[in-house]
Amino acid sequence: NAGVMQNPRHLVRRRGQEARLRCSPVKGHSHVYWYRQLPEEGLKFMVYLQKENIIDESGMPKERFSAEFPKEGPSILRIQQVVRGDSAAYFCASSQGQMNTEAFFGQGTRLTVV
Amino acid sequence: QKEVEQDPGPLSVPEGAIVSLNCTYSNSAFQYFMWYRQYSRKGPELLMYTYSSGNKEDGRFTAQVDKSSKYISLFIRDSQPSDSATYLCAMSVRGFGNEKLTFGTGTRLTIIP
């Protein structure tokens, strides 16, 4: 049973470049969540998606950040024109979307902006 | 004020000791309370969850929720070096499979052999 797969595990980008983070959910899961973890801080919710729909994006910065979860393929978190403050670990979780079912987390993508 | 407050530690205890980890929260709408364990450079894994107030026990782990005080705890008995990790509390209003979770900052725990 493959868990949540995130890639790349590590990503280095220069300021101003674009970062694309990919998340393949657990097989059969149709709900995906993205969280960001800054050093010495807990996980902060960014966005919750179902297939082809954004359910809750209340944690997403208004500019430069976008997320999608297409009908086919992984969920993508895109950060345009990255800045040093975007350096963090980005975690994806997936669930079946039912109230009392666990959301499984991936291993994260560590983004470093130089 | 953060919605969820958690002492970041670090906390070091000798092997075999009882560990107490705690979080306080301000949002009275939270009904689902979870504890996650996160090893270094890994993703969080769910340890235990509790709905509303009360206690829940699973092996060496006990989770307690006191909604009147807005205070939750995780106790680890007979602590082992393999318990060394960061422990994150998390909460949600309706459930934990279909909405966002609000996390504490995490407590870094080290069990000394």
CA–CA dist B2, A34 (Å, integer): 20
Please state the three-class secondary structure of A14-53 as a single string.
CCCCCEEEEEECCCCCCEEEEEEECCCCCEEEEEEEECCE
Q: What percent of chain B has pLDDT over 70?
A: 100
CB contact under 8 A, B97 and A97: yes
Q: State which residue of chain B sits closest to A103, comparing Cα positions.
A: B97
Least confident of A22-26, B38-42, B80-84: B38-42
Q: State which residue of chain A sits closest to B98, comparing Cα positions.
A: A97
**At residue B91, does pLDDT exceed 80?**
yes
**At residue A41, does pLDDT exceed 60?**
yes
Across the interface, of A98, A107, A108, the residue whose CB is closest to B97 is A98
Cβ(B72)–Cβ(B104) below 8 Å: no
pLDDT for res B2? 84
